[in-house]
Amino acid sequence: MTESLRWFKSSYSDNGGQCVEWAPGQVSEGAVPVRDSKIMEGPVLAFPSVAWQSFVRDVADGRFGA
């Protein structure tokens, strides 16, 4: 199922591989799939769309430090 998803990672991800990827095409389904960019065959977490949007907003606002 996750093989058909189109995965993206942040343009800021050139920091040594500590990144996650997400599949925005699933947002309309109410969930956002997220995985470790280093382990593409590994587990995929699905976050509710509202929770993911809140997380992204908080990151952009600098709420998690540098």
Domain parsing of the chain, residue ranges: 2-60
pTM: 0.72
Task: Please indicate whether residue 45 or residue 66 has the higher confidence score (pLDDT).
Answer: 45
At residue 61, does pLDDT exceed 60?
yes
Q: What are the backbone angles phi and psi of residue 45, rounded to the nearest 5°?
A: -95, 140
Which pLDDT band, with edges at 50, 70 and 90, does 16 fall under? low
Distance CA 50, CA 31 (A): 8
